[in-house]
Structure 1
Amino acid sequence: MLVEVEKQQLCMNQLIAKKIDMVKVEGVLIVNDVKPDVLSIVNTNGIVCIYKKEVMDGKLKIDGCINTYIMYLADDENGSVRSLNTAVDFTQIIDLEKCKVGMSVDENIILKSIESKIINGRKISINAMMEIAAMVYANECVDIIYSVNNQEDVQMLNETIKLNTLIGEGSNTVYAKDTVMLNEADDLAELMKVDFRIINKDSKTSYNKIVTKADAEIKMMYLTEDNRINTINAIIPIMGFVDIENITDDSMCDIKYKLKNLIIKPNSGEASNSIYVEAEIEISCLAYENKELSLIKDLYSTENDFKCKENEITIMTRRNLYTDVYRMNQEILVPEISNNKIYDISVTPNIVSTRIQGNNVSYEGDLQITFIYRNNDSLETKQVTTPLMFSMQLNNIEPTTNVITELEVRRDNFITGENGKINADIELGFIVTASDYEKINLINEIEKSEISCGDSYSMVIYFVKDGDTLWKIAKKFKTRVEDIVRLNNIEDENRIKVGQQLYIPKYVKRSVAI
């Protein structure tokens, strides 16, 4: 028959699968009839948008696009600079054996490279490489036995563990919209390059919700009708909230911002010196709390036989968020630029390796700095790569700790000097989530039956064997640890020696036979 027990329910956020894939995205762009032929490519950049993600049995499906901006020299009499814009759609299937429908996914997509090549004057191929880091979680509520009812003869071995439990999760889609005004003298002809990033992230816990705020920073390079090239920066506030029940000020919140769609549209008519910007952004949040939990590690009865059913689960024992800042302030020599005008500078960080050493995480990679500048009567691109080495101190991490790192370019200021000397002032934000997981066995059902035949002994002389503990010995002879300790005058029940002689008394209800 089943033993009556007391249970409590905990929600666990279990990491089911983790995978990093390098994905190639290809597309072909046909030059619009109103645009001149392409003579050479000046620059190509892209912005990744994720429309939809779906966890299926054994795989993860991601649908999205790369908004692509191509600057080129036209094959015309003036060798003018023109641009092409397109969205390269992609659907990527990632095989993840343990995934099942209904699980949650957290993906981090980095556009590692994008380039365009001329097939002919009216046709361009686009090739991009993306790094997709996907983590799939199962948010599962489990019943944990913490007490046995009306069983005076039951001996329990308890263990206290610290773990992070999931309070809840939620998401919301918000829109950051604005009309960006250009200089009064600028009559917009074409958008040539667009950069987008989310900065200044902040949040506050309110009653059953997370209030979030951030800024969308958009940098646009454009061509005017009188063939001038200018750039403009815009900051658009992102405000939103995510509903999660039972959240408190002490809750830990893992907040993600994901760009779903981006509309950059030049206005026409009287507003032709302005650009409409609309960013569709998904804000998602996982809320956790720290708990101490007393688990029944083992149990037995001195009067009955117990048969326990167990299941293995993976728990998150610790989840911490760390932030640090990498700063670079150095002079870069780019002799090709000399004293020419620079139209645009962009910074792309690239992490090549991550190593855990003691309480430190060491990163190695590089910073790719791309300059677009005027050379005589045309535009050219120059890329400079500088090494990136950085170390962060984290508390109590292990080689098995799951470390997820996100990088943010928080500042990229450049001062141009003479003869191609450029002072670079760059600040990167390192946001690191460190999680530890542990597999434990949970007793979820106890069945008891009468002892088939009782032992007639009143006391046993036992010699300790390798691997023995007082708990194991007491369980074997269906007696109690405290009675063995008392009878043998043991000072520390956690210290017994192999070969040590012990007197094992038979347990009798309300008394001990000696």
Structure 2
Amino acid sequence: MAVNLSKNNLCINQIIEQKNEKITIESDEIVPDIKPDVLSIISSSGNICLHKKEVQDGKVRIEGTVNAYVVYIADDENSSMRAINANIDFSKNIEMKDLKSSMQLECTTDLTELECKIINGRKISLKANIQMSLTAYSNENVEYVDNIENKKDMQLLNEKININSLIGNGSTKVYAKDTVSIDNVDNLSEIMKVEIRLENKENKVSYNKILTKADSVFKIMYLTDDGRINSVMATIPVMGFIDMKDINEDSICDVTYELKNIIIKPNNVEEHSVYVEAEFEIFCAVYKKQEINIIQDMYSRTMDVKYTQRTIKVIKDKEEISEVFNLRKQERIDEVKQNKIYDVEVKPRIISSQMENGKIIYQGEISLTFIYGQEGTTRINIKNLVEPFEFTVTSNSIAQKMRIDTSIEIAKKDFVVMADSTIDIKVDLNFRLNIVKESSINLIESVTESEKKDRESFSIIVYYARVGDTLWKIAKKFGSTVDEIVKVNGIENPDVIMPGEQLFIPR
């Protein structure tokens, strides 16, 4: 009789390849005719916008722009402060040998440094050093055998396991748009520096829909017509909806944001204001917890049965936890004194991590770049400071051999110059840990049977258990069943078989 197979489908999301790539983008920029020559560089910073990710077999092509902001001292009689804004377009091919065009690719970027050198008074050279972290995912529907419908004398070794299977992927684009008011006495001359970050990220899953929301925070430093420097901060909420079938409140979401484009310009319609626009693309992968039945092994007492198996990686447990590290410190920086602080760049970096059962210990540093006013002038200066840190995240979900992807978000930064010229430093870093426990399982894909076995005529066999024996192995070896061996021998705990134990094996 032919074997009637019951089959099921499983959607899996496997990490195929991960790669960290350092790239360098270089560009020469001409000082606009309306601006004075460059005497010296004060600061250079920027934001990375990703426009396109073209996934191909064996490589990915990434296109984007570095929005660069350079503050300089002009070569004029007043040594005034001026700025150059430049957009450096780039297109890079990055090889990933296991990548296929059908795969999903996640890319995170970090502008580690923007170097600026003076070629001559009318020309500067920019070099952007970018760290890219790329992860390639394969989404695949796998069909497997989960039962034999006409069992007869077929013996099945079943196991029920809990996994997180992929429901689907989705994306949407959202925009942060607003008109930001500046001081009424300020007539904006030019934008000197722009910092963008996302705070308070949240997502909520309802029936067939995902709601994502966050706060986009803009810090803009600008120059006025009368040569003064000032800054303004704005928080603009962003919200997006992603439609996806078969999801509900119990579904698990992985959400990532990509900055696609930035527009910051004076508002020609409304005085004393700046028009702000940022485009973000939101990507979401949704998982569900489910119990599946897998057949680990099978045999027949009367027929020769063969089967083929495939080994796949599945996510057995998945969780995201968030912990906040608080840096509270007072530092005396003689150069700053009682001068006004216009901005402080905060760049956290994890140097190393050590995982133990129940906790992970991070060692790192926070780079602080103070941009402050120079006493008695309208000029600004820069002071760099590095604060080392150690932070421990504890959770019962953390264990050895788990995959933990950690991202850091700046949740808060506050710097106050005290009366004694010390600076009260408050920085909150939100550590987001995506914890995944992966496991390899064997799935049966096909089953075939052949002619009836030639069996010896013994009705019962006396067998002495060996190291590594299980009742299943013994029953399969002699064409018996686990239930019959348990019954004949009066075994109370079928999971415990001692070496040397005498067993009667009915045939």
Above 0.5 in TM-score? yes
Alignment RMSD (CA, Å): 1.7
1:481 equivalenced with 2:482 (yes/no) = yes
1:44-68 CA distance string (max 9 Å, x none): 1111111112322222332212111
Q: Which residue of 1 aligns with 2:460?
A: 459
Percent identical residues:
42
Work out whether residues 360 and 398 of structure 2, in 8 Å CA contact, stay in contact via their aligned partners in 1. Answer: no
Q: Which residue of 1 aligns with 2:241?
A: 241
The CA deviation at 1:109 is 1.7
Q: Which residue of 2 aligns with 1:253?
A: 253
Q: Which residue of 2 aligns with 1:94?
A: 94
Counterpart code for 2:296: K
1:107-126 CA distance string (max 9 Å, x none): 22222222211122222222
1:315-347 CA distance string (max 9 Å, x none): 011110000111122111111112223222222
What residue ranges of structure 2 are gaps of 5+ in the alignment? none
1:402-430 CA distance string (max 9 Å, x none): 11111111111111124531101111111
- Using the size of structure 1 for normalisation, the TM-score is 0.94
Counterpart code for 2:297: D
CA change 1:25–1:363 in 2 (3 A) is: farther
* Structure 2 counterpart SS, 1:49: strand
The CA deviation at 1:272 is 5.1
Q: Which residue of 2 aligns with 1:425?
A: 426
Report matched runs for 1:357-376 at 5 Å: 357-376=356-375
Counterpart code for 2:337: S
Separation (CA, whole Å) in 2 of partners of 1:14 and 1:500: 44
The CA deviation at 1:224 is 0.9
Work out whether residues 188 and 266 of structure 2, in 8 Å CA contact, stay in contact via their aligned partners in 1. Answer: yes
How many residue pairs align between the two structures?
505
* Structure 1 counterpart SS, 2:165: strand
1:132-176 CA distance string (max 9 Å, x none): 222211111112322101121110101121110112221001112
* Structure 2 counterpart SS, 1:285: strand
Counterpart code for 2:215: D
Separation (CA, whole Å) in 1 of partners of 2:106 and 2:6: 35
Work out whether residues 302 and 453 of structure 2, in 8 Å CA contact, stay in contact via their aligned partners in 1. Answer: no
Work out whether residues 210 and 244 of structure 1, in 8 Å CA contact, stay in contact via their aligned partners in 2. Answer: yes
1:193 equivalenced with 2:163 (yes/no) = no
1:348 equivalenced with 2:347 (yes/no) = yes
Counterpart code for 1:301: S
Q: Which residue of 2 aligns with 1:121?
A: 121
Q: Decide which moves more: 314-323 or 207-216.
A: 207-216
1:262 equivalenced with 2:257 (yes/no) = no
Report matched runs for 1:332-411 at 5 Å: 332-376=331-375, 377=377, 378-411=379-412
Separation (CA, whole Å) in 2 of partners of 1:52 and 1:337: 42
Separation (CA, whole Å) in 2 of partners of 1:400 and 1:55: 30
The CA deviation at 1:306 is 0.8
Counterpart code for 1:13: N
* Structure 1 counterpart SS, 2:486: helix
Separation (CA, whole Å) in 1 of partners of 2:128 and 2:320: 31
Counterpart code for 2:301: T
CA change 1:277–1:188 in 2 (3 A) is: same
Separation (CA, whole Å) in 1 of partners of 2:358 and 2:99: 32
1:325 equivalenced with 2:324 (yes/no) = yes
1:330-367 CA distance string (max 9 Å, x none): 11111111222322222221111122122111111111
CA change 1:396–1:234 in 2 (3 A) is: closer
Separation (CA, whole Å) in 2 of partners of 1:34 and 1:464: 93
Poorly superposed stretches of 4+, deviation over 3 Å: none
Separation (CA, whole Å) in 2 of partners of 1:394 and 1:129: 35
1:469-489 CA distance string (max 9 Å, x none): 211111112211111222233
Work out whether residues 335 and 419 of structure 1, in 8 Å CA contact, stay in contact via their aligned partners in 2. Answer: no
Counterpart code for 1:163: I
The CA deviation at 1:2 is 5.7
* Structure 1 counterpart SS, 2:169: strand
Q: Decide which moves more: 204-213 or 356-365.
A: 204-213
Q: Which residue of 1 aligns with 2:44?
A: 44
Work out whether residues 303 and 453 of structure 2, in 8 Å CA contact, stay in contact via their aligned partners in 1. Answer: no
1:454-497 CA distance string (max 9 Å, x none): 32222223332332221111111221111122223323222223
Q: Decide which moves more: 395-404 or 471-480.
A: 395-404
Work out whether residues 198 and 216 of structure 1, in 8 Å CA contact, stay in contact via their aligned partners in 2. Answer: yes
What residue ranges of structure 1 are gaps of 5+ in the alignment? 507-514
Separation (CA, whole Å) in 2 of partners of 1:340 and 1:146: 72
Work out whether residues 337 and 419 of structure 1, in 8 Å CA contact, stay in contact via their aligned partners in 2. Answer: no
Report matched runs for 1:200-215 at 5 Å: 200-215=200-215
Work out whether residues 53 and 62 of structure 2, in 8 Å CA contact, stay in contact via their aligned partners in 1. Answer: yes
Work out whether residues 116 and 124 of structure 1, in 8 Å CA contact, stay in contact via their aligned partners in 2. Answer: yes
1:226-282 CA distance string (max 9 Å, x none): 1111101111121210111111111111112211111112233x5353221111111
CA change 1:123–1:399 in 2 (3 A) is: farther
* Structure 1 counterpart SS, 2:475: helix
Q: Which residue of 2 aligns with 1:511?
A: none
Work out whether residues 175 and 278 of structure 2, in 8 Å CA contact, stay in contact via their aligned partners in 1. Answer: yes
